[in-house]
Amino acid sequence: MLEMHRVRLFARAGGVGGSARPGMGAIVVLGGPDDMSALAEGLDEPATTIAAVMPSLKADAQIEMWRDGIRQPVDGTGLLAAAHVLLGRDGRGPMRFEVDGGVVPVVREADGRLRYRASLSRDLVGDFGGAEVLDAMGVPSGRIADGLPFGLASAGRTTLLLPIADAATLRALRPAFTPLAGWSAGHGAASVLAYAPTDGGVDFAARLFDPLAGRTEEAPGPAVVAALVGALARSGADARLRPVVVSEGRLQGPAVRLYGRAEPVISDVAAGGRTGSRPGAKAQPCLKVWVGGDVRHMGFTAIDRAPQLATSREIGEDWRLGA
């Protein structure tokens, strides 16, 4: 029996420009074929994650993930979508997933939201071409926020954290994507998370630019939020269990709200060997970061047939109603 569940993650009320479809979309597949490529291609929809749940010998499950018809490394969006389906509406967990030889837990915390333990968050010390990236991003003179992390960070993927003075300046940014792509290529294919403090009931608004991914702008996902929360915690800024990021992209697209918190890693290896610091530099401890948000079930279908023959067209219009 092939089961497919449509879920929506990180939604907040309203949406960018009044969008009626906030949040990120995902389709979780249970009982799929060993080779999911054809089915994932048939289910492909713009900006939608396909997460196929597979058995695991060392954890509760593992997943394979596709986006835009292309196999992708497993990320927090796929993990949280799969955990929501496997745990059900009220299950607390933890649900343990095998990822790259390790085990990543997902739990439903006291506020009812799912969170997963992201990769260890760390700052990356070194020249990041500040003047070059500011010019490519079109940041006006004097509009960098003081006292907030500005530099490269990682929680599984390298990201430049770019603090902007206010949300209005953030929304007005018009990056020059050809120079931005050149900067990214020279800095480990880093994305840019431009973020600004807000007074609208959340800590920060943010916009994510990943010019080498083939898209001009996308909603901030769990990995870049983990990098931000870790950097904030190390800098002494607040990183409590409350909203930390809301996407405020100027383009029509998904509007998201993610929540995060940081915990110190009590380990000499974690504190000294994985910080990316130069020899002789003062070591900064790594942090465990838990990131997640609201996940909602939007639709379900089951097909009692050879799963390799099922495509989104054959599933029918009833499946599409939850899109």
| Bond preceding residue 22 cis, omega within 30 of 0 | no
Pairing of strands 61-67, 95-99: parallel
Residues 141 and 265 in one domain: yes
**What sign does the CA torsion over 216, 220, 226, 231 have?**
positive
One-letter amino acid at 101 equals G
The residue ranking higher by pLDDT, 22 or 135, is: 135
Cβ burial 39-58 (10 Å sphere, 16+ → b, else e): bbebbbbeebbbbbbeeeee
* pLDDT above 90: residue 267: no
Structural domain includes residue 115: no
Q: How far is the C-alpha of 305 from the C-alpha of 311, rounded, in Å? A: 12
Task: Give the pLDDT score at 284.
Answer: 54
Structural domain includes residue 58: yes
CB atoms within 10 A of CB 202: 18
Give the rounded percent of residues in the chain with a pLDDT score beyond 70: 79
Task: Dump pLDDT digits (tens) for 215-237.
Answer: 778 888 899 999 999 888 888 76
Pairing of strands 151-154, 242-247: unpaired
- pLDDT bin (cut points 50, 70, 90) of residue 253 is low
Structural domain includes residue 66: yes
Cβ within 8 Å of residue 89, ≥6 positions away: 297
The residue ranking higher by pLDDT, 313 or 7, is: 7
Domain extent for 312: 2-109+296-320
Q: How far is the C-alpha of 66 from the C-alpha of 27, rounded, in Å? A: 10
Asked if residues 306 and 236 have their Cβ atoms less than 8 Å apart, the reply is no
Residues 60 and 131 in one domain: no
Residues 46 and 180 in one domain: no
- pLDDT bin (cut points 50, 70, 90) of residue 245 is low
Residues 63 and 103 in one domain: yes
Asked if residues 65 and 80 have their Cβ atoms less than 8 Å apart, the reply is no
Q: How far is the C-alpha of 293 from the C-alpha of 165, rounded, in Å? A: 26
Please give the full DSSP string across 155-187, using - where no structure is assigned. SSSEEEEEEBS-HHHHHH----HHHHHHHHHTT
Task: Give the pLDDT score at 85.
Answer: 94
Number of domains the chain contains: 2
The residue ranking higher by pLDDT, 94 or 263, is: 94
Task: Give the pLDDT score at 184.
Answer: 94
- pLDDT bin (cut points 50, 70, 90) of residue 305 is low
- Tokens 């479809």 locate to 21
Average predicted confidence (pLDDT) for the chain:
80
Q: How far is the C-alpha of 311 from the C-alpha of 112, rounded, in Å? A: 33
Q: How far is the C-alpha of 180 from the C-alpha of 168, rounded, in Å? A: 21
* pLDDT above 70: residue 281: no
Residues 145 and 212 in one domain: yes
Residues 184 and 223 in one domain: yes
| Cα separations in angstroms, 274 against 2, 149, 285, 290 | 42, 19, 9, 19
Task: Give the pLDDT score at 283.
Answer: 52
Range 11-18 average pLDDT = 52
- The SS3 call for residue 105 is strand
Name the pTM for this structure: 0.83
Task: Dump pLDDT digits (tens) for 118-174.
Answer: 887 788 877 788 899 999 999 999 999 998 999 999 888 899 999 999 989 998 999
Structural domain includes residue 181: yes
213 class by beta-carbon count within 10 Å (0-12 exposed, 13-18 middle, 19+ buried): middle
Task: Dump pLDDT digits (tens) for 76-104.
Answer: 999 999 999 999 877 888 999 999 889 99
| Residue 243 parent element (H or E) | strand 242-247
Torsion of CA 212, 215, 221, 223, to 10 degrees: -10
CB atoms within 10 A of CB 185: 12
Which residues are 28's β-sheet partners?
A: 5, 51
Residues 203 and 233 in one domain: yes
Number of H helices, E strands in the chain: 9, 17
Structural domain includes residue 200: yes
Task: Give the pLDDT score at 263.
Answer: 81
The CATH number of residue 276's host domain is 3.10.310.10
Residues 207 and 255 in one domain: yes
| Residue 209 parent element (H or E) | strand 204-209
Range 40-58 average pLDDT = 86
Q: How far is the C-alpha of 164 from the C-alpha of 25, rounded, in Å? A: 28
One-letter amino acid at 187 equals H
